[in-house]
Amino acid sequence: MSQWVGVVLFVVAILVVVLVHESGHFAFAKAFGIKVEEFFVGFGPRLWSVRRGETEYGVKALPFGGYVRIAGMNPFQEPTPEELPRTFGAKPAWQRATVIAAGPVTHFVMALLILAAFHAAIGAPSGRRPVIEGVEATLNGRPSPAAEAGFAAGDRIVALDGTPVGSTDRFIAYTRSHVGRPIRITVVRAGRELTLTATPVLSKVPGEKEPVGRLGVTLGEGRERLSPLTAVGRAGVETADTATAVVSHLGDVFGPGALKRMGQLLVGSTERRVNDPTSIIGATQLAGEAVKAGAWDFLIGLLVVFNIFVGILNLVPLPPLDGGHLAVLAYEKVRRHRPDPRKLIPLTTVVAGFIIVYALMVSYLDIVKPLPSPFR
């Protein structure tokens, strides 16, 4: 399938993510009787809009986000006495917190639903013997050992030199330790067992410093479809595990070491690594390559990680993020009064400026130094 199909699919998915995030804020504001003045996808010049009731809905030119304008959320706008009962600030703290948190929470719900749908429709990794998902035609400019031996997509690997193999990791470790030595590989194809012989050769792998032993195959685990209930349960566990991993790696994205590496990438000849931070531009490129390679599980994983990262980032307790608004509410609850919004302007400006500059730097790198492709 064309790489551009993947690009378009991912862009559409991002717009859906933005729409659902803002819909979370919108739905709870409406449910609590708070006036919502605008609901827009995108920023910048207005492309299209329509008014329905008291709310204007529309699309703007730059599809890098979206927003809902809720009456009373801007502390510098003075509502009229008639508007006051339906403003954000007039509602109880728990309702205001729910409206704010609803946006980030939608990302975790979307991640769970994406995983659950994939596990139910396509299947979840069974943890059983590895399956060949693709065979590379060449390695190092010559026919790959796998192609020469006659491997085919769909072959299930059951044994290496007569010893049963139970995992992808075992297969990779064995081929890397047998460079230059023939391996008898038993596979099951269309219900029949075949034994093929291939000799691993040294070849570069993205993310590895040195060449490693390879045959030229793309591996996956066997999949089994899950019942809807089981799929939701498994997706819930995977969503929680991914969220924990994202939190533990935030320092790798925004910490001092990450910023130092960013400087080296921008001004030096340092090459990018597979696990370096990427922007929407880089993620879209990866999505296109994933679809072209038929790696739908990679695309699903990319969408899941994107959702969880955005959800967690939005919960960081700094303005202007949603977490910053929640922190202000917590301050109000503890101190029994609202903080002076003018004192928050410098912090808000610094945080917003940092996020914008960081995003621009990573976007620039994604254009001039794209991430190494995991599919080559």
**Residues labelled catalytic:** 22
Q: Phi and psi (nearest 5°) for 57?
A: -105, 145
Give the integer Cα–Cα distance in Å for 132 and 216.
10
**Burial class of residue 288 in the structure, from the number of CB atoms within 10 Å of its CB (0-12 exposed, 13-18 middle, 19+ buried):** buried
Quote the crossing angle between the two packed helices 296-314 and 228-248, to the nearest 10°: 60
* Alpha helices (runs of H) in 196-295, residue ranges in sequence order: 228-248, 250-254, 256-267, 280-293
Show the tokens assigned to 279: 């922007």
Q: What is the residue whose two structure tokens read 């193999």? A: 165
In sign, the C-alpha dihedral spanning 263, 266, 268, 272 is positive
**DSSP string for 107-128:** HHHHHHHHHHHHHHHT-EEEEE
Output DSSP code: residue 269. -
Instruction: Tell me if 328 sits within 8 A of 319, measured CB to CB.
Output: yes
**DSSP string for 181-217:** S-EEEEEEETTEEEEEEE--EEE--TT-SS-EEE-SE
Give the integer Cα–Cα distance in Å for 25 and 33.
12
